[in-house]
Structures are given as C-alpha cells and as structure tokens.
Amino acid sequence: MMTGVMSATLDDVSIQRAKSGDISALEDIYRAYEHMVYALARRICRAPEDAEDVLQETFLEVCRSIGTFRGTGHGSLTAWIKRIAASKALMRIRREKYRDTDELHEDTAPSRKGSDVALRMDLDAAINRLSDTARAVVWLHDVEGYTHGEIGAMMGKSVSFSKSQLARAHVRLRGWLGEEATA
Amino acid sequence: MTHLTMQQLLDVREPASSPGSQSARQHLGTCHVCQDELERSHQRTAQLKALPTLQAPRDLWPEIRSQVVAHRRRRRAAWGGVGGLALAASIALFLVLGGRPVAAPEEESSRAIGTAMAQSQMLETALGRYRPEGRVTDGRTATVVAGLETRIAEVDRQLQVAGMMRQRVRDEALLSLWRQRVGLMDALVNVHLTRATNAGL
Ligand SMILES: [Zn+2]
C-alpha cells in the first residue's frame, strides 16, 4: 500500500545526486520509501524478520543500481523501487518454501459450505492464512495494482497462473471471512 | 443456470478483458446472484486496500549505509590490486613472449588479454589522477557517469564469474570482457575530460 509519506525535498536534483553516488541523497531516498517497501514486504512475506531482510536487500540494490534508473520524478522512482521490493519479496517466499498446507484444498467454485461461515476470521488473519503465492498475487494485483502480465513476469509464471491464483485467493478469503452464501 | 466462476467474475473487472468475458458480461447483466458476487469481490479488494500499513520496527539505514560504503571500497581496492597485477602480468608476458618468433594460440589470447588489461589499467590510472569524486558534477554528466559506472561494475562481476570457467572458454570470455571494459573506461574518461574542458572555457 502506498503510504504517501514522501520527503518533500526528494526532487529530481536529489535523485540525480543519488545517481552520482551521493550517500546522503541515497539516505533521503531510503527515508522516503522505507515504509512503502517494508509494508509491501511484510504483506508478502508475513514474518517481520523476512520483511526486514527484504527492506535491506531492496535498498542495497537501489544504492548499487540507481545509476541504471532512467526515469525522472517521484512517480517513476516509486514504481522502480516498488518493483525491486516486490521481486526481492517474491524471491524470498520462493526460497523459504513455507508449508502451503491450504494448497491441498480444491476451490474452483465459491464454497457454499456452512463450516466456512463458522470459521469467520478477520481480514488480516485471513490473508495470512493464504498460501505464499496466492497472498503475493492478491496483494500485488488488488492492492498494488500490478497486472497479471506483470505479476506473471515477476514470478516467472504465466498470465493464467496469476489469474487462477487470484481467483483461488478470493474464493478462500470469501469463505474465511464468512461472507453470506447466496444460493 | 450456471453462475460465473470466481475467475470469470474477476476477469470482468480487468481493464483489458479476455474474449470469453463477453458472454460473462451478458450473464452478469441478467443474474443478480453473480452481480452480488462481483460486488462482494470489489468490497473485498477495498478492504484489502484499507488494511493498516505495517511499519518497520527499526531503522536499517546504518547497516545499509555501511554495506554500501564497504562495497564501494572493496570494488576500488580489488580493481586497484588486480589492475596493478594486470600491468605486471602484461609486462611479464611481453618479456616472456618477446623473444619468440611464433606464439601458440593460448599465448596469443593471453597476450591479447594482457594488452586489454593493461589498457584498462592505464585508463583507470588516468582517471585516478583526475580524481573525479572531488569535483562538482552537473546532473547530465552525473547520469552518464553513473550509467557507465554501473556497466563497468557489471563487467567486473562477469569477469569474476569468467575467472572460474575452464581454460579455453575462459580465455575467450575474459578477452571479450576486458575489451568491453576498456571501451567503457575510455568512454568514462572521455566524459570526465569533456566536462573538464567545457568547465575550463
Ligand atoms: Zn449467475
């Protein structure tokens, strides 16, 4: 989620300074984007330690390769940093291979079972219960606004993989949130 | 009546819908069950967007900063060291090969690599004397310089990888990489010198 907490001093000049390697300009960028990157990483990785690692890896990459950043202004810098963060977070969940126990259930159609309604949990708990992949897809698509094409590319998967993961995530959330069944 | 699957419903929400979504839209126009389901999916997304932003528990900048600074120092030290070695190696090669009338192919490629390394080192030395980090840089030059620096760093990374390859493949890779590096270093020196000339006018 976008935090909107950006330093007012982070203009094109300071971005240029950062590109030439100025360490205090790089710190300005860190300050402007640490919240955005951590929040994204935390939603995808769940564990605070993993999110911290992603935050660190993201800014090491930002500092080392900001010279390759070709855009100007806040908007494109935000998109550039966010993409690095998303890639690092996805890399981490791939590496960690969390146990995806809920992958065992089948969910091609909305569940109408009473047992799901009985579960009723809040949204925070529900998204944390999703498999890593499904959670990452629903977050990147619904909250961060990435297209299925972009998500597929970042994950090294197809567009239809991203679409089916999103549908799967919505079916599960629907059940876990105890939304009224309409039969 | 068969209702839409979740994936069909979500497809309808996409800006560029697939061809199949045409019939899904038609169904949606007449089916209240699916309309409700679509509305619920919108609400779910809105709730996700409204979740609180999680804050980092501590400041990681000091760690990142020290790693960035260390990385730069290592890079400089490594290439100072290797560059010095390169020069020594190329002189040694010259001395060894100088007296022989015909060189074997491996020696040819070693000599070519040695030449490229020496050229790269000469340019590195020239740049070092000029001390670009102590000078004021305009934004456009900074962009060009940063781009070249990044590409040089990438070549350096590939050189490390190439160093671990088997002899024959390695020599070809090394020669090509060292020549790339010479080209990039040459461009970098030119950017700095051009700027210095303009500033001097
Ligand atoms: Zn229907």
State whether A63 and B68 contact (CB < 8 Å). Answer: yes
Find the CB nearest B68 among A52, A60, A182.
Answer: A60
Least confident of A100-114, A158-172, B44-58, B111-125: A100-114
A164 inside domain: yes
Would you kindly state where each structural domain of chain B is located, as residue ranges? 6-49, 73-198
pLDDT of residue B139: 64
pLDDT of residue B199: 58
Residue A60, pLDDT above cutoff 50? yes
Same domain (yes/no): A69, A143: no
Same domain (yes/no): A32, A79: yes
Q: Which residues hold their Cβ within 5 A of ligand 1, which is an ion?
A: B 3, 31, 33-34
Share of chain A above pLDDT 70, in %: 80
Ordered alpha helix ranges (H), B60-104: 61-98
pLDDT of residue A51: 96
A167 inside domain: yes
- Tokens found for residue A97: 């291979």
Higher pLDDT, A61 or B85: A61
Higher pLDDT, B117 or B200: B117
Same domain (yes/no): A90, A21: yes
| Domain limit, last residue, from A73, A96, A119 | A96
Residues of A in contact with B44 (CB under 8 A): 142, 170, 173-174, 177, 179
| Domain limit, last residue, from A96, A129, A155 | A96
Q: What is the CATH number of the domain that holds A125?
A: 1.10.10.10
Residues of A in contact with B55 (CB under 8 A): 35, 38-39
The answer to whether B128 and B192 are in contact (CB under 8 A) is: no
Taken in order B104, B105, B106, B110, the sign of the CA dihedral is: positive
A1 inside domain: no
Sequence-distant (6+) residues with CB within 8 A of B181 are: B116, B120, B152, B155, B156, B159
> What pLDDT digit, counting tens, does each position of A90-137 carry?
999 988 764 454 444 334 334 444 444 444 578 999 999 999 999 999
> What pLDDT digit, counting tens, does each position of B43-68 carry?
999 999 999 888 888 899 998 988 88
Here the ipTM equals 0.81
A5 inside domain: no
Same domain (yes/no): A77, A112: no
Same domain (yes/no): A16, A87: yes
Q: Between the CA of residue A112 and those of A28, B11, B68, what are the distances in Å?
A: 51, 21, 54
pLDDT of residue A140: 97
Residues of A in contact with B60 (CB under 8 A): 34, 52, 55-56, 59
A2 inside domain: no
Total domain count, chain A: 2
| Domain limit, last residue, from A62, A96, A130 | A96
Average of per-residue pLDDT values in chain A = 83
Same domain (yes/no): A26, A73: yes
Chain B interface residues (partner A, CB cutoff 8 A): 5-7, 10-11, 14, 33, 36-37, 40-41, 44-45, 47-49, 51, 53-58, 60-61, 63-65, 67-69, 71-72, 137, 139, 142-143, 145-147, 149-150, 153
> What pLDDT digit, counting tens, does each position of B7-44 carry?
999 999 887 766 667 888 999 999 999 999 999 999 99
| Residue from A14, A165, A170, A180 whose CB has the most chain B CBs within 10 Å, to mutate | A170
Residues of B in contact with A163 (CB under 8 A): 7, 10-11
pLDDT of residue A2: 44
Q: What range defines the domain where residue A166 resides? A: 106-181
CA A175 to the chain's CA centroid = 23
Taken in order B17, B21, B22, B25, the sign of the CA dihedral is: negative
- Tokens found for residue B34: 């699916």
pTM beyond 0.90: the answer is no
> What pLDDT digit, counting tens, does each position of B65-109 carry?
888 887 776 666 555 544 544 454 555 555 555 544 455 667 777
A38 touches chain B (CB under 8 A): yes
A120 inside domain: yes
pLDDT of residue B71: 78
Amino acid at B116: A
A7 inside domain: no
State whether A67 and B6 contact (CB < 8 Å). Answer: no
Sequence-distant (6+) residues with CB within 8 A of A165 are: A133, A134, A137, A138
Overall average pLDDT of the B133-153 stretch: 69
A31 inside domain: yes
pLDDT of residue A147: 94
Q: What is the CATH number of the domain that holds A85?
A: 1.10.1740.10
